[in-house]
Amino acid sequence: MALHFHLFGRKPAYSRADVRHACQIDGEIVLTEKMVSYEGRLGNLSRGGAMFRPRLAYLMNRRGVAVLIQVAGVAISGEIVTTTPEGFGIRFNEPLDDAVLAHLLSCDRSVAVAAA
């Protein structure tokens, strides 16, 4: 009989189930606990989360911080799950509806620049 357990008792790593869309959508992120906001840009987007890069020279390592992302007239609540040189990895509290995802992707600056 085989034993099944995780190394050191850890749970499997979080995996992204939704398709990631590369994009450049300007907006802002609000750290809801301190009510501090930073302008920046979404670098990629999926139904379950996004990568947001504030226009800051230095990113503070944050994890577990509740945020509100405001882009293209839409406010999305979530939580910072990682900080990388590319920005804050954010998991949304609720998955985006297909209509909201389509609306946000229609505001993608990289598509407008490529079409010009």
Q: Tell me the average pLDDT across 7-26.
A: 70
Three-state SS annotation for the chain? CCCCCCHHHCCCCCCCCCCCEEEEEEEEEEECCCCEEEEEEEEEECCCEEEEEECCCCCCCCCCCEEEEEECCEEEEEEEEEEECCEEEEEECCCCCHHHHHHHHHCCHHHHHHHC
In the structure, what pLDDT confidence band is assigned to residue 102 with cuts at 50, 70 and 90?
very high
- Are 100 and 46 contacting, i.e. CB atoms less than 8 angstroms apart? no
**pLDDT(115) > 70:** no
In the structure, what pLDDT confidence band is assigned to residue 110 with cuts at 50, 70 and 90?
confident
| CA–CA distance, 62 with 51 (Å, rounded to integer) | 13
Q: Which domains does the chain have, with CATH numbers?
A: 21-115 (2.40.10.220)
The pLDDT of residue 16 is: 55
| CA–CA distance, 63 with 108 (Å, rounded to integer) | 27
Q: State pLDDT tens for residues 29-63.
A: 999 988 899 999 999 999 999 999 999 877 788 89
In the structure, what pLDDT confidence band is assigned to residue 13 with cuts at 50, 70 and 90?
very low
The pLDDT of residue 48 is: 96
CA 65 to each of CA 31, 45, 55, 68: distance values in angstroms, whole numbers, following the listed order: 7, 19, 18, 10
Q: What's the predicted TM-score (pTM) here?
A: 0.78
**pLDDT(95) > 70:** yes
- The closest of 35, 97, 21 to 65, measured between CA atoms, is 35
- Hey, what are 64's tokens? 């577990």
